[in-house]
Amino acid sequence: MIKLFEFTGRPFISIAEEFGRIMLLFLSASSWAFRPPFRFRIVFKQMESVGVNSVIVVLITAISSGMVLALQSYYGFRMFGGESLVGATVALSLTREIGPVFTALMVTGRAGSAMAAELGTMRVKEQIDALYAMSVNPVQFLIMPRIIAGILMLPILTILADFVGIIGGYFVGVELLNINSGIFMARIFEMVKLNDIVNGLIKSACFGLILSLVGCYKGFYTVGGAEGVGKAATQAVVISTVSIFIGDFFLTAVMF
Amino acid sequence: MIRLIKVCKSFGKQKVLVDLDLDIPPEKTTVILGQSGSGKSVILKHIIALMNPDSGQILVNGTDITRLNDKELNEIRKNFGMLFQDAALFDSMTVGENVAFPLKEHTRLSQKQIKTIVEEKLMQVGLKDVTQKMPAELSGGMRKRVGLARAIALDPKIILFDEPITGLDPIMSDAIDNLIIQTQQHTKATCVVITHNIESTFKIAHRIAILYEGKIVECGTPPEIEISAHPFVQRFINRKTKDSNCG
Ligand SMILES: Nc1ncnc2c1ncn2[C@@H]1O[C@H](COP(=O)(O)OP(=O)(O)OP(=O)(O)O)[C@@H](O)[C@H]1O
Ligand SMILES: [Mg+2]
């Protein structure tokens, strides 16, 4: 019986432990954010790398989701003559959910895993030790800039995704399914409130924090050579993805 | 002055350092000899607090560095320069940026002054026209020398060299030995050198410490080591395996 508890309990304990250590890393990174030297150049470089790495996949995902949303909602609404609502439905789903979540998932796959691999390589090749040896704190030099870049870039990418997604929806709705373009747009402006957009962006900033923090955490504590680096990158993606979905539920519950 | 007192370190079941005592005199070059895998790199990492002993003390100028917090360690480490066994250059930076890194972080020198120092240090290790290259584009021996240039860039008071000449040709090895001697004399630095090369040891060492089975079994000046009665020391400096007979 006790064995059974042990067996089922252990994963939960290790999850709790891991969560605790991620939080500790977060605290130490945030305490470094307000201490000189400020590393604007590195932050900027990381923002560029998060953005450049991910912008194409984010745009492709967004435009296809917008188009699919338009198609699906059109078939639904047509049953009771509500075609005019297609635009608003597409826009609301995108700004509130699809934009932030899909963007975060795509960036996790590109930039989150890259962060884990990069820091993991630095760990196993003793470059992190070298930073310590040269009196440069690696949390401040490596982790803090990546987290800031994640928090700042995700909302920007999400705005792009929202915009492109709505264009995709417009193309399907107006050009292919012949919904009146004036009505399509009017309903969007009528139904989508600034709040929907802002809350979506707050969500995406939280996701940016999650994916960069988890990526850095997994990379920073990599052990076991090249194989360990591969594992760190994979685990970073898995943990970030799951955390983004769980976080999305709670954020949605609180916000809307 | 660096002093290790009763330092123990294990990795899992494997005991690497066992009640190790070692005194490293200031402004001198101390060479640590020992078999591959015996724990020489581990000793260096303890001296710069990249590893913490399971028990024991490590005094650097009288301060026990095993009890310091991150901030205090940061201050202490500013006195150090370290060459890692695998150089540990930053992959994402050019050679020039690597050598300039400690200068940029810890001095207020202008870009131009830094550039001059970087070129000078690279020249000293026999490298030129490499500042724009990435570490991945260099040979192993070249990387090591860049690591050496980075370690001495700030003219630190304490310099730790983990196998500075391993992987270099005999001529370059000799040049690096000379560089270590010159740097040490010039800056009055405390140098700790790990090497497997006996000839180089006797050339650069003021003191030699020999690590065997987790302890320093012999420590003294080169002439003292040469006449040591310890069987392992004799075998080691005369390159004899256990069973070979000198005849
Ligand atoms: N981070 C670590 N985790 C686990 N074991 C380690 C670690 N670092 C070193 N060891 C072990 O400690 C022992 C000593 O390692 P160390 O790197 O100090 O050897 P060394 O004397 O420098 O050898 P070499 O001359 O080959 O460089 C080795 O057996 C190694 O397996
Ligand atoms: Mg070694």
- What does the pLDDT look like over B131-186, one tens digit per residue? 999 999 999 999 999 999 999 999 999 999 999 999 899 999 999 999 999 999 99
The answer, for B84 touching chain A at a CB cutoff of 8 Å, is: yes
In this prediction, the answer to ipTM > 0.90 reads yes
What residues contact residue A25 under an 8 Å CB cut-off, 6+ apart?
A139, A143, A213, A216, A217, A220
Mind listing the pLDDT tens digit for each residue in A178-234? 888 898 898 989 898 999 999 999 999 999 999 999 999 999 999 999 999 999 999
Ligand lying nearest the CA atom of residue B37: 1
Q: List CB contacts (< 8 A) between A135 and chain B.
A: 74-75, 77-78, 105-106
Ligand 1, pocket residues at CB < 6 Å: B 11, 16, 34, 36-42, 85
- Residue to mutate among B60, B97, B101, B144, with most A CBs inside 10 A, is B101
Q: Is B31 helix (H, G, I), strand (E, B) or coil?
A: strand
User: B170 near B147, Cβ under 8 Å?
Assistant: no
How far does the centroid of ligand 1 lie from the alpha carbon of residue B146, in Å? 23
Instruction: State whether A127 and B89 contact (CB < 8 Å).
Output: yes
Confidence of residue B247 (pLDDT cuts 50, 70, 90): very low
The number of domains in chain A is 1
* Long-range Cβ pairs for the range A69-78 (8 Å, 24+): A69/A93, A69/A94, A69/A98, A69/A165, A69/A169, A70/A168, A70/A169, A70/A170, A70/A171, A70/A172, A70/A173, A70/A177, A71/A172, A71/A177, A74/A172, A74/A173, A74/A177, A74/A179
- pTM for this one? 0.90
Instruction: State whether A134 and B101 contact (CB < 8 Å).
Output: yes
Burial environment of residue B14 by CB neighbours within 10 A (0 to 12, 13 to 18, 19 or more): exposed
In ligand 1, the atom with minimum distance to the C-alpha of B12 is 4
Pairing mode of beta strands B14-24, B190-194:
unpaired
Rounded to the nearest 10 degrees, the angle between the axes of helix B111-124 and helix B140-152 is 130
Q: Is residue A226 part of a domain?
A: yes
In ligand 1, the atom with minimum distance to the C-alpha of B51 is 1
Q: Is residue A44 part of a domain?
A: yes
Q: What is the pLDDT of residue A83?
A: 83
Position B245 pLDDT exceeds 60: no
Q: List CB contacts (< 8 A) between B77 and chain A.
A: 132-135
Please report the residues numbered 82 through 141 in chain A whose beta carbons come closer than 8 angstroms to any beta carbon of chain B.
118, 121-122, 125-127, 129-130, 132-137
Instruction: State whether A132 and B102 contact (CB < 8 Å).
Output: no
How far does the centroid of ligand 2 lie from the alpha carbon of residue A68, in Å? 59
Mind listing the pLDDT tens digit for each residue in A162-191? 999 999 999 999 989 888 889 889 898 989
The answer, for B161 touching chain A at a CB cutoff of 8 Å, is: no
- Residue to mutate among A134, A140, A223, with most B CBs inside 10 A, is A134
How far does the centroid of ligand 2 lie from the alpha carbon of residue B84, in Å? 9
In ligand 1, the atom with minimum distance to the C-alpha of B40 is 21
How far does the centroid of ligand 1 lie from the alpha carbon of residue B211, in Å? 13
Q: Is residue A32 part of a domain?
A: no
Nearest-angstrom CA–CA distance, B175 and B145: 11
Instruction: State whether A129 and B86 contact (CB < 8 Å).
Output: no
Q: Is residue A27 part of a domain?
A: no
Q: Is residue A9 part of a domain?
A: no
For B33-95, give the DSSP string.
EE-TTSSHHHHHHHHTTSS--SEEEEEETTEEGGG--HHHHHHHHTTEEEE-TT----TTS-H
Nearest-angstrom CA–CA distance, A108 and A240: 7
Average pLDDT for A112-125: 96
Ligand 1 atom 24 nearest Cα: B36
User: B53 near B7, Cβ under 8 Å?
Assistant: yes
Position A73 pLDDT exceeds 50: yes
Q: Is residue A20 part of a domain?
A: no
What is the torsional sign of CA A144, A145, A148, A153?
negative
Query: Residue A95 sits in which domain range?
Result: 40-255
Mind listing the pLDDT tens digit for each residue in B44-61? 999 999 999 999 999 999
What 3 state SS string does chain A have? CHHHHHHHHHHHHHHHHHHHHHHHHHHHHHHHHCCCCCCHHHHHHHHHHHHHHHHHHHHHHHHHHHHHHHHHHHHHHHCCCCHHHHHHHHHHHHHHHHHHHHHHHHHHHHHHHHHHHHHHHHHHCCHHHHHHHCCCCHHHHHHHHHHHHHHHHHHHHHHHHHHHHHHHHHHHHHHHCCCCHHHHHHHHHHHCCHHHHHHHHHHHHHHHHHHHHHHHHHHHCCCCHHHHHHHHHHHHHHHHHHHHHHHHHHHHHHHC
Q: Is B200 helix (H, G, I), strand (E, B) or coil?
A: helix
Q: Is residue A167 part of a domain?
A: yes
The answer, for B68 touching chain A at a CB cutoff of 8 Å, is: no
The answer, for B102 touching chain A at a CB cutoff of 8 Å, is: yes
Average pLDDT for A49-78: 92
Q: What is the pLDDT of residue B243?
A: 57
Mutate to test the pocket of ligand 1, among B15, B17, B18, B40 (most ligand atoms within 8 A of CB): B40
The answer, for A48 touching chain B at a CB cutoff of 8 Å, is: no
In this structure, what are the phi and psi dihedrals at residue A240, rounded to the nearest 5 degrees?
-60, -45
Computed over every residue of chain A, the mean pLDDT equals: 92
Mind listing the pLDDT tens digit for each residue in B62-74? 999 999 998 899 9
Q: Is residue A64 part of a domain?
A: yes
CA-nearest of A216, A4, A186, A183 to A83 is A183
Nearest to B88 among A118, A129, A137 (CB): A129
Ligand 1 atom 16 nearest Cα: B39
